[in-house]
Copies of this chain bind each other. A is one copy, B any other.
């Protein structure tokens, strides 16, 4: 089955990296859902000014598997379960299609929520009852944050990069993490990491002749964003046999191949820890990547949103900026963007839409352009900005919240590690299933050997075998996972 999926992927991608001659396909995402979703519009009969044939073909081309057809089907089943309990062989839908821990019962970190609540309603900060409800350091932190916001106005648009004081405290957190200086002026706070990824794609991609090197399997945000901005995804392949290893020689081969087709390759995306593959890069591998990007003139786009999610003792997170600086490379040597998000780690605050990118090694005039793009959406949400500053500066020894914070954090991380290991073992004990070690992130990416009959049955309904399997699994168990072909490969499972 892997061969199948990989061949399919290569075909898909080679289509992407060629000259994009037509955009006639792929209107299937969220397919059957919307008729039910919008009964009000299903009766349209006269010619509408907008048809699938007349919209932006880049939108048609874009696919986003983690919220695609399987998820839409799951939402239908969920509705059916609500309307007719007992109508399916399961009582609830288990959404393992995306890293959304709080939807699966993970509790938020108390200190973070205390500070957010106080910043939302500062007029209770001075009240006696507040001290009974909130920790003293959350009250203190809320005051600190309010003082960083001009006029203490949490309801005002901030600077388009985010509140300066919050960016400065994020930079302090980065410096403490890396042991190298960081600058609040390099931080662009965004509504989660996704808009920051879009911003860089928008900046770098001029046409389908511009390529972005992406790992396969990849988090489909990248393929979706590249498609929406009209560029070409240049794949490099993570090697399942070596624990999703990244081979610079393969990346170089893919780069040369793309260049020989006339593409200008502008950037390399690295996701570390890996999404959806869960591996953690070794330090020397990271150094080789930095060296490669510097030599080849590529922007290094480092997705580091799982930096807190490492579950094995022999691996550690190192930011690419730390690696580059430790190699002696500074601002003049490498253009580097590091993405971080409040949605992952032990915090898992997906709904708060907080995140940032740290942008280094770009000239002042390019920074102006990034700032301009940021300014068109005015600013990211202030709650997300505050939370980003908190995750990079959690309570410290001596703070009232420190011990409960550590207990909550470690409880979540050890539960994630335990579940990763349990799933990994379970997969490897199943016949016809193998799975690499879960080193980090929130995902496992097992390999299923499907029997020929299943593959034929899938072909008969014109489905990819893995999509067919995922659909059958959902119908039988209520478990939602994403077919590996959505990432360019096999099957994945949330911890």
Specify which of B62, B63, B132, B376 is in contact with A129 (CB 8 Å cutoff).
B132
Q: Which residue of B lies closest to A293 (CB)?
A: B49
Specify which of B38, B102, B298, B361 is in contact with A364 (CB 8 Å cutoff).
B38
Q: Is A22 an interface residue (CB 8 A)?
A: no
Contact across chains for A368 and B130 when beta carbons are under 8 A apart = no
Closest chain-B Cβ to A42's Cβ sits at a distance in Å of: 5
Q: Interface digits, A30-55 against B, CB 8 Å rule (1 contact, 0 not)?
A: 11011101111111111111111011
Specify which of B60, B100, B133 is in contact with A124 (CB 8 Å cutoff).
B133
**List of B residues within 8 angstroms of A58 by Cβ:** 202
Contact across chains for A44 and B361 when beta carbons are under 8 A apart = yes
**List of B residues within 8 angstroms of A37 by Cβ:** 185, 367, 371
Contact across chains for B194 and A377 when beta carbons are under 8 A apart = yes
A64 to B29, CA, bound (A): 34
Q: Is A5 an interface residue (CB 8 A)?
A: no
Q: Is A340 an interface residue (CB 8 A)?
A: no
Specify which of B44, B183, B202, B204 is in contact with A38 (CB 8 Å cutoff).
B183
A400 to B70, CA, bound (A): 45
Contact across chains for B67 and A375 when beta carbons are under 8 A apart = yes
Given A202-B56, A351-B155, decide whether A116 and B123 contact each other with a Cβ distance below 8 A: no
**List of B residues within 8 angstroms of A102 by Cβ:** 151, 153-156
Q: Is A315 an interface residue (CB 8 A)?
A: no
Given A127-B133, A202-B59, decide whether A155 and B116 contact each other with a Cβ distance below 8 A: no
Q: Is A299 an interface residue (CB 8 A)?
A: yes
Given A38-B364, A351-B155, A351-B379, decide whether A335 and B49 contact each other with a Cβ distance below 8 A: yes
Q: Interface digits, A365-376 against B, CB 8 Å rule (1 contact, 0 not)?
A: 111110111011
Contact across chains for A377 and B192 when beta carbons are under 8 A apart = yes
Q: Is A14 an interface residue (CB 8 A)?
A: no
A46 to B335, CA, bound (A): 11
A384 to B45, CA, bound (A): 35
Contact across chains for A368 and B129 when beta carbons are under 8 A apart = no
Q: Is A331 an interface residue (CB 8 A)?
A: yes
**List of B residues within 8 angstroms of A371 by Cβ:** 30, 33-34, 37
Q: Which residue of B lies closest to A27 (CB)?
A: B365
Q: Is A108 an interface residue (CB 8 A)?
A: yes
Contact across chains for A44 and B331 when beta carbons are under 8 A apart = yes
- Residues 372-394 of A contacting B (Cβ, < 8 Å): 372-373, 375-384
Q: Is A57 an interface residue (CB 8 A)?
A: yes
A299 to B51, CA, bound (A): 12
Q: Is A360 an interface residue (CB 8 A)?
A: yes
Closest chain-B Cβ to A371's Cβ sits at a distance in Å of: 5
Q: Is A362 an interface residue (CB 8 A)?
A: yes
Residue with the highest number of chain B CB atoms closer than 10 Å, among A42, A48, A116, A130: A48
**List of B residues within 8 angstroms of A123 by Cβ:** 110, 113
Given A204-B55, A349-B155, A375-B67, decide whether A332 and B129 contact each other with a Cβ distance below 8 A: no
A114 to B124, CA, bound (A): 10
Residue with the highest number of chain B CB atoms closer than 10 Å, among A194, A297, A362: A362
A/B interface sample: 29 pairs, CB < 8 A = A30-B372, A34-B364, A38-B183, A39-B185, A40-B360, A41-B331, A42-B364, A44-B331, A44-B363, A46-B332, A51-B366, A56-B203, A62-B376, A75-B159, A102-B153, A102-B154, A108-B155, A113-B123, A133-B133, A154-B351, A155-B350, A156-B351, A157-B343, A191-B381, A194-B377, A194-B378, A198-B377, A352-B382, A352-B383
Q: Please name 10 further chain A to chain B contacts, defined as beta carbons within 8 Å, in addition to the given A41-B362, A110-B123, sorted by A numbering.
A: A27-B368, A38-B185, A46-B333, A51-B363, A54-B206, A113-B123, A114-B121, A195-B377, A352-B381, A353-B381
